[in-house]
Chain A
Amino acid sequence: MTVFTTMDDLKKRRIHELLDNGQRIDGRGFDEHRSISIEIGAIPKANGSARVRLGDTEVVCGVKIQPDRPFPDVGDRGIFICTAELLPLSHPTVETGPPNESVIELARVVDRGIRESHMMDLSQLVIKRDVSVVGVFADNVAVDYDGNLFDACSYAATSAVLSARMPRWEYGEDGPVLQEGDAPLPTTTVPVSVTMAKIGNHIVVDPNADEWDCMDARITITTDSNRNICAIQKGGKNGFTLDELVACGETAVKSADAIRRTLEAAAKQ
């Protein structure tokens, strides 16, 4: 995806052979995620932050909350924007400079998962209708890459939003005026994305970098706390059959339960 490597043919062959024998290169089950560790408050000066490690993939997310002008057509709603960036230290092939297509896709998939699940009640983020609203900006930075940045960024952004404290503003004569006290962001659900890769005829959950390099197609499915699917992104040159899609949906719903509990527990720390 965001990282361009040439995979050696021998390893690719080995991954396919192992999958045909029901095994993965790192010994996990086909529907097994790598271990997730979440550290809340990794950036002390941010309104909310989280450092998420998904196996050897590591992402830091910071949430900044500040007054902003509303979009002209939705003056009765606050703003939520999620971005993503890869640091050159995350992988030898990552260079500085403007984000490429894959990084833009990464940010949009994470943003869409949170937005379409209606995780945040944006109507509660209005300071003065049509004039001033609260803007929530979640910025993801990948510091270590070992595949599946979609899920790592999604968990980091969700954890950071869940743990964020929102300052209070009231509209004065010259604009929003900061008040004393803060409160959690108005969240209604916890979106969890699950990314699956299709390699040959096999579908594996949470592909690592090696699996990512040799996959034929991928799908990211985000579900909310009610186990409803709220966002899907499909990538890669190959496709999924209808049966595979249904199976992916079921896997995403099933896998998300445990991850959601982990995210909620971490945010309560």
Chain B
Amino acid sequence: MSERRKRVIPGDVITSGSYRADQNTVLDGRLIVSTAVGVSEIVDDAVRVIPLTGKYMPRIDDMVVGKVTSHTSLAWELDINSCYVGFLPATDVFGRDFSARSDELASRLKRGDLVAARIANSDRSRDPLLTITDRDLGRIDSGELVKMSASKVPRLIGKRGTMIQMIETQTDSLITVGQNGWAVVACEDPNGLLKAKEAIAMVDRLAHTSNLTDRVREMLGGRS
């Protein structure tokens, strides 16, 4: 592990240099201290800690996969694998003409449906607002939900998407990955589906190790 990256636990001093305290760190006087168990990283002028585990904390513009758990007359409630419930307003689906009196929410999205959505607005004081008015967002009609740790999603995607593209190519599948640790794998071939799920589980298990893309490729039986 390079000098700029080290394993830390809460309370560990990462650096005393003139850096900005980013994710999972706090500034204590001149010291930047970790608040999570993970790997610290100094990128440009910022210090952050990539947590090894933990629940998903919603951030604006994140793409997430959510599960409809309930609805009111104005919005759907989605489980987004977080301590917060995601709210998808009815106007987002029905448009500005939405009328709570005449439009039935269950006709569009019902309990148990999986939805690819984007976090439109979020602060820690209230539940995040979701939107599906974008390309490739909306109800997911096929595939299988696979769960992994939200903190390991960047590893599943890889640098410039290399890992996810490699898994999709090798298994002939289409994977919708949410930043919240939920992914939907769609694949015609049952063996490909199994392989893709196995690859995701492998990334989840070995996210902290190096040379992972090659090892996943090897597991999938492909050539580098």
Name A's B-contacting residues (CB within 8 A). Answer: 6-12, 14
Contacts and interface: CB of A to CB of B under 8 A. Distances in A.
Contacts of B79: 6
B111 A6 contact: yes
Interface string B100-142: 0000000000111110000000000000000000000000101
Contacts of B140: 10
A242 to B, nearest CB: 32
B144 A6 contact: no
A10 B142 contact: yes
A10 B143 contact: yes
Residue with the greatest number of chain B CB neighbours at <10 A, chosen from A7, A10, A14: A10
Specify which of A6, A12, A14 lies most central, judged by the most chain B CB atoms within 10 Å of its CB.
Answer: A6
B32 interface: no
Nearest to B79: A6
B69 A6 contact: yes
Secondary structure class of chain A's binding surface, majority of residues: helix
Interface of B: 67-69, 79, 110-114, 140, 142-145, 184
Nearest to A14: B144
Contacts of A7: 112
Contacts of A6: 67-69, 79, 111-112
B184 A10 contact: yes
A255 B87 CA distance: 47
A11 B143 CA distance: 8
Contacts of B143: 10
Given A6-B67, A6-B69, A6-B79, A11 B111 contact: no
Given A6-B67, A6-B69, A6-B79, A11 B144 contact: yes
Given A10-B145, A11-B144, 16 more contacts: A6-B67, A6-B68, A6-B69, A6-B79, A7-B112, A8-B67, A8-B114, A8-B145, A9-B112, A9-B113, A10-B114, A10-B142, A10-B143, A10-B144, A11-B145, A12-B112
A82 B140 CA distance: 45
Nearest to B67: A8
